[in-house]
Amino acid sequence: MEKKLPAIPAKRYFTIGEVGELCGVKPHVLRYWEQEFTQLRPMKRRGNRRYYQHHEVLMIRRIRELLYDQGFTISGARNKLQEIVQTERDRFRHGAYQAMDVTELAADMDAQVLFDENFEAVPTERSSDLVDRVPLTMLGDIRRELVEIRELLLVRV
């Protein structure tokens, strides 16, 4: 059932309909997954409208891959995600990320992608090229967003 998913645009927030198209699932499935996966918490605004951030879209793609492509059950996928999050927390706490530079982080990414001039994801064989292709201003934005994510994760521990 491996289906090529579209590139994720460089936007801060995505509606549930946009996320459904980007991840190949229906909005009602996304709402159900919110109940099953505690890591998935989109921001809700007026009228209970959901707004997803880039990292949540990536998480939904990972959930979809675990369920649809790898054949995990909901419970199995939930456990696998918790295992992945715990592994990343342990790596962070033990300083594994402190010594890495941007090139190493790019090489460590699961999805090896570059961004073209329109900030569209472009698959590549060498993710270390990411450093050469992403404008420095975008790297600053990415860093700020990662710091926010880290603070949110540390609060939940």
Q: Characterize 73-98 residue by residue with b for buried, 16 or more Cβ atoms within 10 angstroms of its Cβ, and e for exposed.
A: eeeebbeebeeeeeeeeeeeeeeeee
Residue 132, pLDDT score: 54
1-85 has which CATH code?
Answer: 1.10.1660.10
Q: At what angle do helices 74-93 and 54-64 cross, to 10 degrees?
A: 130
Residue 6 has φ and ψ, to the nearest 5°, of -70, 160
Among the listed residues 100, 153, 88, the one whose alpha carbon sits nearest the alpha carbon of residue 131:
100
Q: Which residue has the higher pLDDT, 31 or 100?
A: 31
Looking at residue 111, its pLDDT comes to 41
Encoded amino acid at 51, one letter: Y
Show me where the domains of the chain are located: 1-85, 100-157
Question: Is pTM beyond 0.85 here?
Answer: no
Instruction: Give the whole-angstrom CA distance, residue 128 versus residue 140.
Output: 17
- Given this model, what pLDDT does residue 134 score? 55
